[in-house]
Structure 1
Amino acid sequence: MANKDRQQNYTNDNKPQDYYEQEYQRQLDEFNRISGAGGQRVQQIDEGVNDFDDYYDAGYPDDHTQGTAQSYGQGSRSSSDHSGSYRESTPRRQTQSRQTSRPQNGQSKQRGSGKSAKSNKTSAQRRNNDLQFGKNNKSRNDQTNKKCKNKVENKKRHPIKTFFKVLIIILLVVFILANVLIWRYIGMVNKVQRGQRTNTDASMNSSDVRNILLIGSDTRNADERGRTDSMILLSINSTTKEITMTSFMRDMYVNIKGIDADGNDIDTWSKLNAAYVYGGAELLMDTIEYNFDIAVDDYVYIDFLSFVDIVDAVGGIELDISDEEAEGMKPPMAEQNKLLGNKKGTDYLDKGGKKLLVNGNQALAYARLRYVGNADFQRTERQRTVITKIIEKAKSSDPLTIDKFAKASMSHLTTNMSQTQLFALTYKAIFSMNYEIKSMRIPDDDSYSYGTSSDGQSILEVDFEVCKALLRKDIYNQ
């Protein structure tokens, strides 16, 4: 009976009815059959509802809200099966979307007008809502995935980025502090104007070598222009990575040629240490450059008493002192104690020893000692030893000690270099800390003889050509 009703309802005036209406009617008939004859039969379609879509749309929100598992359209027939066999179909929402693709003719065409318009509008709104909902989900998923991906990448990059950030900050802070300290130290130096030079065309001249003349004197300041007891040419060779300290003996008989302190031309022969008396540091530089054919770029003047503060700033230095030297240090130390305001006998050594830790007062007496050993030859050697020991001690000191050393050194210096030149030289000195330090003496043992000047002074007669060759080899590596 049910099959007959379904076949009768399937066609009307040889036109197919709506598939979903048929399916609904089939399930309704099936329900009435199962419920039995004694039960009240369910009406086919409620009054006022002539379209199955309207009925479905009206019922869908409630079913969806209540979480109904049943989907309208499940158990629908295959389009090729009219004998009552069924297969599992897709959920109602997907079946609803396929409804738009089946042929619309006959009675089904009329369902697009009238009350069905409301149903179509409701379905369209629902589809739009579904699409919007899906779109929003996709957007949120994309954003979430992107954030997760970025978090993973950040976790991978975080240690490296942090390391380089910290490194850059540390280097920047160190660079700023270093520059501030350098300018601070440079500000302590006594800078004087450059005097007039006449001899500046020496053949031993290279951009890789910077020659600075260190002038030491027993006078209290550079304006007194006393005789210079120490003249050491400090040569920094950036090619060979060497620093060479060359002591020029004070008693060498040389041609002093240039301009004197009064601005007059001078051309005379005398001891080298007299050049400073005649015309100051500029005439001394001109004299060395003219006689030995080596460029002398600038000078730094320091009085001997400054060594006391400099050595004490680095905590003293270690020296090998013989018993004879320990005894010979007492006369110069007695003079120093008087100048320094110390009690008589302060810092005297009873005997010598190996690697004795001496203070500034003792180190200065050792450097000034002249009458023990080979007179002035050995004294210049002691002076270079003291300077080398100071540099080595400063290089291995802690930052606070280096700060004390820099302040003690800079505050006692007088130079003709500008502030900018001092700044560049300080940077060069920092990068030269690991350079090999060498020392030599002019004249060496094979390039001089003893003589007497016209006024009866003992002098050293020098073989200038041998001395030039020695300078060229040891300083310029030529």
Structure 2
Amino acid sequence: MAKKTEKPVQRVKRTGKKSKKYAWIKWVVIAVVVLLIAAGAGYAANFIDLFNQSHSGDLDKDDLGISSDSEALQDDGSTDIVNIALFGVDTRTQGEKTRSDSIMILTVDKKHNKIKLTSLMRDTYVAIEGHSNTKLTHAYYYGGPQLAVKTINQNFGMNITEYATVNFQGMAEIIDAVGGVEIDISEAERQNANISIQEQAAYGMEPDYIEKAGLQTLNGTQAVAYARIRYVGNADFERTDRQRKVMEQLFYKALDMNPLQYPEFARKLLPYVETSLDIGEIMGLSTIMLRDVSMEQLRIPMNEHLIGSGSIRDSSGGSCLNVDLEAATKTIQEFIYDDVDPNAPKESSAESSQKAS
């Protein structure tokens, strides 16, 4: 499997209302972050009413595979750093079993005034309890968010107890609600996205095709099709890049909305969201949005985490990403809890000694 050279961590400081240096956030992040914005915007009563109308799903907190090894978690047990699992799914009917097409860890880090997004590639080869080792994405299909969260915790030493899920149909509605997103699309991407748009039309979405390549504002249907492209460039590696581009635009356009628009935005968003978070937890997390918050993101696996060619077959013959999970876990823990940038230049022994003296 080809390895793509890229920096898996990017960071952005939001310096103004119309800042053009956007951090990326992928698909389902908006499902939680906009809830935080709405909760912190002074519309608590309206928000609670809207939230109660959405479908919430509880997790069995005693069966989430959380490690008892505090050193592995590197967590001081405070609420300054909270992790939430985020899933993007493609369900067409109520109760339909589905894989999680997008998997992330959202970290609300009040200790460092940051929101951190750790993207877990769907094809990562992991152990799923009760099933054979296979792609991470299958956990959601086998056991919904309960097993999906448990699988993340068990394979990456995490302590996640909450989740949020949003489906792709909802993403089109949300993107339209902020007026679309600006994307520079290549001709190959345009053609592939239009094939996806044609497929979406069969499920009732408006077949609004992208007419030209280049920098332009994509509407919800077009942006969802663009973010789902898998067969242009380096497969899922570039697919996650596209999803990040869409979400960086979406997140900051939501932040830049007039606060009076938040309740209507939340109204459009909530029908597509399922979450275990209750209103009190959301209100508690929302205070970080009132700070001068910056955003950082990490893609797992990084290139250095891949074993050999980076490819391995599961028992069904499916191609998976062969990942050094121990090394990947160490990177995630340091990124989330120690605020370490995995791409920062490593100090030489001489430099370290000079600083110490």
* TM range, smaller chain: 0.7 to 0.9
Q: How many residues align?
A: 291
Question: Does structure 1 residue 321 correspond to structure 2 residue 180?
Answer: no
Equivalent-residue separation in structure 1 for 2:261 and 2:203 (angstroms)? 26
Equivalent-residue separation in structure 1 for 2:184 and 2:263 (angstroms)? 27
TM-score for the superposition, normalised by structure 2 = 0.76
Q: Which deviates further from its counterpart, 468-477 or 370-379?
A: 468-477
The amino acid of 2:102's aligned partner reads S
Structure-2 residue corresponding to 1:209: 81
Q: Which among 65, 69, 72 is matched to residue 199 of structure 1?
A: 65
Structure-2 residue corresponding to 1:442: 300
Deviations 1:242-293 (A, max 9, x none): 1111111111110112xxxxxxxx2531211111111111111111111111
Question: Does structure 1 residue 297 correspond to structure 2 residue 161?
Answer: yes
Residues 66 and 157, structure 2, Cα contact 8 Å, conserved in 1: no
Residues 289 and 296, structure 1, Cα contact 8 Å, conserved in 2: yes
Equivalent-residue separation in structure 1 for 2:229 and 2:249 (angstroms)? 17
Structure-2 residue corresponding to 1:419: 279
The amino acid of 1:219's aligned partner reads T
Residues 313 and 401, structure 1, Cα contact 8 Å, conserved in 2: no
Q: Percent identity?
A: 33
Equivalent-residue separation in structure 2 for 1:338 and 1:279 (angstroms)? 28
Q: Which among 164, 181, 204 is matched to residue 46 of structure 2?
A: 181
Structure-2 residue corresponding to 1:220: 92
Structure-1 residue corresponding to 2:334: 473
Structure-2 residue corresponding to 1:190: 55
Q: Which has the higher helix share?
A: 1
Residues 248 and 442, structure 1, Cα contact 8 Å, conserved in 2: yes
1:222 positional shift: 6.8
TM-score for the superposition, normalised by structure 1 = 0.57
Q: Which among 84, 100, 117 is matched to residue 245 of structure 1?
A: 117
Which consecutive segments of 4 or more residues in structure 1 shift more than 3 A?
Answer: none
Q: Where in structure 2 are the equivalents of 1:54-453 lying within 5 Å?
A: 178-195=43-60, 197-201=63-67, 203-204=72-73, 205=75, 206-207=77-78, 208-220=80-92, 223-257=95-129, 266=130, 268-342=132-206, 346-354=207-215, 356-425=216-285, 427-428=286-287, 430-431=289-290, 434-448=292-306, 449-453=310-314
1:201 positional shift: 2.3
Equivalent-residue separation in structure 1 for 2:128 and 2:266 (angstroms)? 35
Structure-2 residue corresponding to 1:462: 323
Q: 1:320 to 1:447 in 2, by over 3 A?
A: same
Equivalent-residue separation in structure 1 for 2:237 and 2:91 (angstroms)? 21
Structure 1 SS opposite 2:242: helix
Structure 2 SS opposite 1:256: coil
Equivalent-residue separation in structure 1 for 2:249 and 2:123 (angstroms)? 26
Deviations 1:174-213 (A, max 9, x none): x995222332332232112323624122632353211111
Structure 2 SS opposite 1:339: coil
Residues 85 and 105, structure 2, Cα contact 8 Å, conserved in 1: yes
Q: 1:176 to 1:240 in 2, by over 3 A?
A: closer
Q: 1:256 to 1:398 in 2, by over 3 A?
A: same
Which of structures 1 and 2 has the larger relative contact order (alpha carbons within 8 angstroms, sep 6+)?
2
Q: 1:431 to 1:336 in 2, by over 3 A?
A: same
Equivalent-residue separation in structure 1 for 2:51 and 2:196 (angstroms)? 32
Deviations 1:343-400 (A, max 9, x none): xxx321222212x111111111111111111111111222222222111001111234
Structure 2 SS opposite 1:201: coil
Residues 301 and 415, structure 1, Cα contact 8 Å, conserved in 2: yes
The amino acid of 1:284's aligned partner reads A
Deviations 1:61-94 (A, max 9, x none): xxxxxxxxxxxxxxxxxxxxxxxxxxxxxxxxxx
Equivalent-residue separation in structure 1 for 2:195 and 2:133 (angstroms)? 32
The amino acid of 1:473's aligned partner reads E
